[in-house]
């Protein structure tokens, strides 16, 4: 088999992910990059077709990833893609044996998400000036992002009929085309109302009023991921926030602040659209860390003064504690 048949196998698998699994475009593109990189390595090693891949070749590829400086996270993502591809090919009877069945993802230390404090969030969402259509739009986008804890792809894919201001909620289509209803707070509702009345009509005129997207760019089309990323970073700088801020930072902050204030973990899972509660549990670690930091900062006897180690000498018998 030639390289074209490797490509045929990969395309079939990506179509399966798109049609049957309903994965996002970004996820599918990531799978495609990882699998094409592996296919190129396999062909160079003499495996001209998926059926020719051996355990030894897979081991060699893992070593290759490490030797070329790829991170554990990159290697883990490649393992998932390769394992999924061969499982699909066996299921479709394109190959008989699965050479990747034994593959396990590298163990990764779980990195705690970057989170803003409530004052930083307040400065961020109020940074856009509400005197222009773009400012009204950006204020509404930031308020909705924080109020509903959306992924940036979910925020940008909202249409006019996704928002129900009178009822105070937004209808979101998340990963795997799963729909969820997320409530909006008063500030988000007010910002959306101002944008819809005073900002969006002016932006829509520039595009001929054809787009049904909720958030429009300066040309009247749907706001892009790149455009919003640039905007949020500019507003973070304007707000004097030293941390590296992205749309996902705001989503992390949403979840952490809910848990800090006593929200139930299952409720936060539903609001975030997580399929597995273990994904949501990372925020409990962030909350515990923040509580400890606040305790150390605020309690007058939280820290031991230099040279004043606690006395752990044994007490004489009969001495009361």
Same domain, yes or no: 34 and 175: no
Same domain, yes or no: 161 and 282: yes
Looking at the domain assignment, is residue 135 inside a domain?
A: yes
Please tell me which residue in 91, 218, 237, 248 is annotated as part of the active site. 248
Lowest-confidence segment of 15-19, 105-109, 187-191 by average pLDDT: 105-109
| pLDDT confidence of residue 1 | 39
Same domain, yes or no: 22 and 146: no
Neighbours of 261 (CB within 10 A): 9
Average pLDDT over residues 67-91: 89
Same domain, yes or no: 162 and 289: yes
Let me know if 283 is a catalytic residue.
yes
Looking at the domain assignment, is residue 307 inside a domain?
A: no
| pLDDT confidence of residue 315 | 47
Chain centroid to CA 285: 17
Looking at the domain assignment, is residue 129 inside a domain?
A: yes
Looking at the domain assignment, is residue 96 inside a domain?
A: no
SS (H, E, C) the chain: CCHHHHHHHHHHHHHHHHHCCCCCHHHHHHHHHHHHHHHHHHHHCCCCCHHHCCHHHHHHHHHHHHHCCCCHHHHHHHHHHHHHHHHHHHHCCCCCCCCCCCCCCCCCCCCCCCCCCHHHHHHHHCCCCCCCHHHHHHHHHHHHHHHHCCCHHHHHCCEHHHEECCCCEEEEECHHHCEEEEECCHHHHHHHHHHHHHHHHHHHHHCCCCCCECCECCCCCECCHHHHHHHHHHHHHHCCCCCCCCHHHHHHHHHHHHHHCCCCHHHHHHHHCCCCHHHHCHHHHHHHHHHHHHHHHHCCCCCCCCCCCCCCCCCCCCCCC
Looking at the domain assignment, is residue 105 inside a domain?
A: no
Looking at the domain assignment, is residue 314 inside a domain?
A: no
Per the listing, tokens 């109302």 go with 193
Looking at the domain assignment, is residue 110 inside a domain?
A: no
271, 273, 279, 282: CA torsion to nearest 10: -30
Same domain, yes or no: 147 and 40: no
Please tell me which residue in 64, 87, 171, 175 is annotated as part of the active site. 175
Domain count, the chain: 2
Query: What digits encode the pLDDT tens for the residues 258-289?
Result: 888 888 888 888 888 888 777 777 777 666 66
Confidence bin at 247 (pLDDT 50/70/90): very high
Let me know if 43 is a catalytic residue.
no
Query: What CATH number does the domain containing 75 carry?
Result: 1.10.150.130
Query: What digits encode the pLDDT tens for the residues 172-223?
Result: 998 888 899 999 999 999 999 999 999 999 999 998 888 999 999 999 999 9
Let me know if 151 is a catalytic residue.
yes
Tell me how many degrees the CA angle 2-5-23 measures, rounded to the nearest 5.
145
Domain that holds residue 49: 3-91
Higher pLDDT, 310 or 238: 238
Please tell me which residue in 137, 139, 151, 252 is annotated as part of the active site. 151
- The last residue of a domain, from among 74, 91, 108: 91
Let me know if 55 is a catalytic residue.
no
Please tell me which residue in 137, 139, 222, 251 is annotated as part of the active site. 251
Looking at the domain assignment, is residue 154 inside a domain?
A: yes
Please tell me which residue in 36, 87, 274, 290 is annotated as part of the active site. 274
Same domain, yes or no: 77 and 171: no
Let me know if 285 is a catalytic residue.
no
Give the end-to-end CA distance of the chain in Å, rounded to a whole number. Answer: 80
Let me know if 70 is a catalytic residue.
no
Same domain, yes or no: 18 and 151: no
Same domain, yes or no: 131 and 227: yes
| pLDDT confidence of residue 313 | 44
């Amino acid at each position: 088999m030639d390289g074209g048949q490797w490509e045929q196998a990969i395309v079939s698998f990506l179509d399966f992910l798109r049609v049957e699994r309903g994965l996002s475009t970004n996820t599918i593109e990531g799978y495609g990059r990882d699998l094409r990189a592996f296919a190129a390595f396999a062909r160079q090693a003499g495996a001209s077709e998926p059926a020719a891949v051996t355990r030894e070749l897979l081991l060699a590829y893992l070593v290759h990833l490490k030797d070329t400086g790829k991170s554990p996270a990159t290697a883990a993502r490649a393992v998932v893609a390769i394992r999924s591809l061969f499982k699909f090919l066996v299921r479709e009877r394109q190959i008989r044996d699965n050479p990747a069945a034994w593959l396990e993802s590298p163990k990764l230390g779980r990195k705690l998400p970057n989170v803003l404090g409530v004052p930083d969030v307040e400065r961020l969402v109020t940074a856009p000036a509400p005197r222009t259509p773009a400012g009204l739009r950006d204020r509404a986008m930031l308020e909705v992002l924080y109020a509903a804890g959306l992924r940036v792809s979910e925020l940008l894919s909202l249409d006019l009929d996704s928002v129900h201001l009178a009822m105070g909620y937004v209808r979101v289509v998340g990963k795997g085309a799963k729909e969820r209803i997320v409530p909006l707070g008063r500030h988000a509702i007010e910002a959306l109302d101002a944008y819809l009345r005073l900002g969006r009509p002016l932006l829509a005129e520039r595009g001929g009023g054809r787009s049904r997207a909720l958030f429009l760019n300066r040309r009247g089309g749907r706001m892009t991921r790149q455009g919003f990323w640039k905007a949020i970073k500019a507003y973070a700088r304007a707000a004097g926030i030293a941390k590296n801020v992205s749309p996902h930072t705001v989503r992390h902050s949403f979840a952490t602040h809910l848990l800090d204030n006593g929200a139930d973990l299952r409720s936060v899972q539903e609001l975030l659209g997580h399929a597995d509660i273990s994904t949501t549990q990372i925020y409990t670690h962030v909350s515990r860390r923040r509580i400890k930091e606040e305790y150390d900062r605020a309690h007058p006897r939280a820290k031991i003064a230099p040279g004043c180690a606690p006395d752990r000498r044994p007490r004489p018998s009969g001495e009361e504690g």
